[in-house]
């Protein structure tokens, strides 16, 4: 039995000595490599926080002391030492979440996996402890240097630093990276601190006075009968003291907070010494730990792109990815086309929030490095800045995960749309993302974007339409445009049988006479394949069906209303929430035009959907061909209004 198997709760860590902690760190890394390589997940970040997590749990008393992990993808070690060691179904339906999850453990607090919010939680928790008279309870936030590029963290620091009586501790996990190397002025400042740290420690190590001082301290402690553990801790304290004198701390202390560091984030003794000092200080403290993403695993350390930030199934020995199925990803299609457009137009600028590779801007960055801007984890700034770029004569293309558009919504509304700025936003991972769970599902964008004046929204059904609609989007220079597509591989191309005058396309039509037009299926984006399957099932039941792809779903094309007026029932199928979604918008437009055809909105519930595969989430939400076909047949059977009552649109 290894040491890890004996750890059931954090307090079990406190009985371990230095050698046992070192062994435990090795066991945890072996466990993570073995298990995450079989399921996929965030491997590199967790390999980098092993010693840091152990030290935090040895110094603080979770759950009495609250430990918050920013973003949460670096919480696997935390899960292991809080009694969750079955990783066999990590990120799978019914298995462990890849992020903190309150339903799993009382040790988990913040479930959201959006970056840069942890310090605001820290501010709130520590204020609550003081207001309720629980001043002996600590609040700790573990925040990466990448998350510190988000402005929300500095809003929180501004408030935390103003109150000197709270037990709030910020642990900066500084590995110089988010997905890729962290960028910006603050990242440069951290790099300067790291360089100063290394230079000063090199100087200290070569200074004979330092050696004599340590030797005298060691002899004195031994003569006094101090245990070996105490001697070791004292020497670490001496090193830290000398280093603190020699390393410039800059912005950390400038904001008015006690700063400890930088600390070697893989040295448990040094970490515990710093964390204990922070605990005893009695006020807000920043502990700056320097770690290495992918520490202890050569394939991750050798990966310059993202150091195995998030992996699929891999060979645990080599780190090589398991063979993927055939097909291209939506992201790669976008990446190829935007690079081609940038080659044709000098005014096109790509913008990313610390995700150049994940959102597909890498090729454009290689070919046009001066026209791809990484703003860090700062979506609000990205969107507001894009309005300025548009004013200056450029056409910005902001590539984001759909879930992160939530962060920049106010700026989209008030900086971009209000000023009729020609800005294109490309939303990757729209709809259901799968194993990353509720914080990453991109199910909100279709509803959120309904209320933005002048906005145009395209939902391509395949690769050809993505290329085509992206080009149409960047051609609009007097309003915001959005192009959205899901995670994963794009399917086979689906050719239309007819393009209507406003660009909407008919994918399938059965029955030509007006009396035979039963069901109009309006397919939103990547739901085309499902829509066609449903149409086939309905046709087999003797129902005549038209499948229509609007291509641009906002504003609603006039032909959608015309087609709706000619059918008995309209079914709108989308992968966003039904509440306020495209179906709801079409219903409103139909009512305004005097079209009284019955309409069925098919989409996702307005709920936080748990992690599972994309298809499993669809199954649970009722987005299956069988269920939609059955409900449509039932609606047809109960729909007694004769076709002749369906009015033509009043004005289209």
Contact 177, 292 (CB under 8 A): no
Q: How is residue 491 written in tokens?
A: 């399917």
Whether residue 407 lies in the annotated active site: yes
Q: Is 9 annotated as a binding residue?
A: no
Residue of 398, 422, 482 whose CA lies nearest to 447: 482
Q: How is residue 102 written in tokens?
A: 């309150």
Q: Is 381 annotated as a binding residue?
A: no
Q: Is 619 annotated as a binding residue?
A: no
- Through-space distance between the first and last CA atoms of the chain, rounded to whole angstroms: 74
Q: Is 188 annotated as a binding residue?
A: no
- Name the active-site residue from 379, 469, 505, 601: 379
In DSSP notation, 465-510 reads HHHHHHHHHHT--SS-EEEE--SSB-------SEE-TTS-EEEEE-
Contact 511, 539 (CB under 8 A): no
Degrees (nearest 5) of the Cα angle 608, 614, 618? Answer: 70
Would you state the torsion angle of the CA atoms of residues 54, 60, 65, 67, taken in this order, to the nearest 10 degrees? -30
- Name the active-site residue from 29, 293, 467, 517: 293
Q: How is residue 179 written in tokens?
A: 């997905």
Residue of 20, 257, 289 whose CA lies nearest to 143: 289
Q: How far is CA 595 from CA 552, 565, 568, in A?
A: 20, 6, 11
**Pairing mode of beta strands 285-290, 372-374:** unpaired
Q: Is 173 annotated as a binding residue?
A: no
Q: Which helix (H) or strand (E) segment is 281 a member of? A: helix 268-281
Contact 77, 28 (CB under 8 A): yes
Contact 112, 143 (CB under 8 A): no
Q: How is residue 413 written in tokens?
A: 């509304």
Whether residue 293 lies in the annotated active site: yes
Q: Is 222 annotated as a binding residue?
A: no
* φ and ψ of 430, to 5 deg: -75, 150
**Cα gap 79→42, rounded to integer Å:** 13
Contact 281, 170 (CB under 8 A): no
Q: Is 134 annotated as a binding residue?
A: no
Q: Is 113 annotated as a binding residue?
A: yes
Q: Is 115 annotated as a binding residue?
A: yes
Q: Is 431 annotated as a binding residue?
A: no
- Name the active-site residue from 167, 177, 407, 484: 407
Residues found in the chain: 652
Contact 507, 523 (CB under 8 A): yes
Query: Binding site for Mg(2+): what residues are annotated?
Result: 145, 175
Tell me which residues are annotated as active site. 293, 379, 407
Q: Which residues are annotated as a binding site for thiamine diphosphate?
A: 73, 113-115, 146-147, 175, 297, 379
């Amino acid at each position: 039995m290894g040491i890890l198997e004996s750890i059931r709760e954090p307090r079990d860590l406190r009985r371990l000595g230095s050698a046992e902690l070192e062994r435990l760190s090795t066991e945890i890394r072996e466990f993570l490599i073995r298990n995450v390589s079989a399921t996929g997940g965030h491997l590199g970040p967790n390999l980098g926080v092993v010693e840091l997590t152990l030290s935090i749990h040895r110094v603080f008393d979770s759950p009495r002391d609250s430990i918050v992990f920013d973003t949460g993808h670096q919480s696997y070690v935390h899960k292991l030492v809080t009694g969750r060691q079955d990783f066999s179904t990590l990120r799978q339906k019914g298995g462990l979440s890849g992020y903190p999850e309150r339903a799993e453990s009382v040790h988990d607090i913040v479930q959201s996996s959006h970056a840069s919010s942890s310090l605001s939680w820290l501010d709130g928790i520590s204020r609550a402890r003081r207001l309720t008279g629980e001043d002996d309870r600590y609040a700790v936030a573990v925040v990466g240097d990448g998350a510190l590029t988000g402005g929300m963290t500095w809003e929180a620091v501004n408030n935390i630093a103003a109150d000197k009586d709270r037990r709030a501790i910020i642990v900066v996990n500084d590995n110089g990276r988010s997905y890729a190397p962290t960028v910006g002025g603050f990242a440069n400042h951290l790099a300067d601190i790291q360089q100063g740290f290394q230079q000063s420690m090199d100087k200290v190590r070569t200074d004979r006075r330092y050696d004599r001082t340590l030797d005298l301290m060691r002899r004195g402690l031994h003569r006094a009968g101090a245990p070996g553990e105490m001697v070791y801790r004292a020497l670490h304290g001496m090193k830290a003291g000398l280093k603190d004198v020699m390393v410039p701390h800059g912005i950390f202390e400038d904001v008015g907070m006690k700063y400890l560091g930088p600390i070697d984030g893989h040295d448990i003794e040094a970490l515990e010494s710093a964390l204990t000092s922070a605990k005893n200080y009695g006020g807000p403290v920043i502990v700056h730990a320097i770690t290495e993403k992918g520490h202890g695993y050569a394939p991750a350390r050798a990966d310059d792109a993202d150091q195995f930030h998030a992996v699929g199934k891999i060979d645990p020995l080599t780190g090589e990815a398991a063979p993927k199925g055939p097909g291209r990803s939506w992201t790669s299609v976008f990446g190829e086309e935007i690079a081609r457009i940038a080659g044709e137009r000098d005014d096109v600028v790509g913008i990313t929030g610390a995700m150049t590779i994940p959102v597909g801007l890498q090729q454009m960055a290689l070919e046009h490095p001066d026209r791809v801007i990484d703003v860090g984890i700062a979506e609000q700034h990205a969107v507001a800045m894009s309005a300025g770029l548009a004013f200056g004569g450029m056409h910005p293309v902001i590539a984001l995960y759909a879930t992160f558009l939530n962060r920049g919504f106010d700026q989209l509304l008030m900086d971009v749309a209000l000023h009729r700025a020609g800005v294109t936003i490309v939303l990757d991972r729209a709809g259901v993302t799968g194993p990353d769970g509720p914080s990453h599902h991109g199910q909100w964008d279709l509803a959120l974007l309904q209320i933005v004046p002048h906005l145009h929204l395209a939902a391509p059904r395949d690769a050809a339409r993505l290329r085509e609609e992206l080009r149409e989007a960047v051609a609009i220079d007097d309003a915001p445009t959005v192009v959205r597509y899901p995670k994963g591989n794009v399917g086979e191309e689906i050719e239309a049988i007819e393009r209507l005058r406003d660009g909407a396309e008919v994918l399938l039509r059965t029955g030509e006479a007006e009396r035979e037009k039963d069901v109009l299926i309006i397919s939103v984006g990547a739901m085309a394949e499902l829509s066609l399957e449903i149409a086939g099932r309905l046709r087999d039941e003797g129902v005549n069906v038209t499948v229509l792809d609007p291509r641009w779903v906002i504003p609603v094309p006039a032909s959608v209303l015309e087609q709706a007026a000619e059918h008995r029932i309209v079914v709108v199928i989308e992968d966003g929430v039904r509440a306020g979604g495209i179906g709801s918008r079409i219903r409103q437009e139909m009512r305004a035009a005097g079209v009284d055809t019955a309409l069925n909105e098919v989409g996702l519930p307005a709920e936080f959907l748990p992690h599972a595969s994309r298809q499993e989430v669809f199954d649970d939400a009722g987005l299956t061909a069988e269920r939609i076909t059955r409900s449509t047949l039932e609606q047809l059977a109960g729909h007694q209004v004769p076709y002749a009552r369906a009015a033509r649109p009043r004005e289209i």
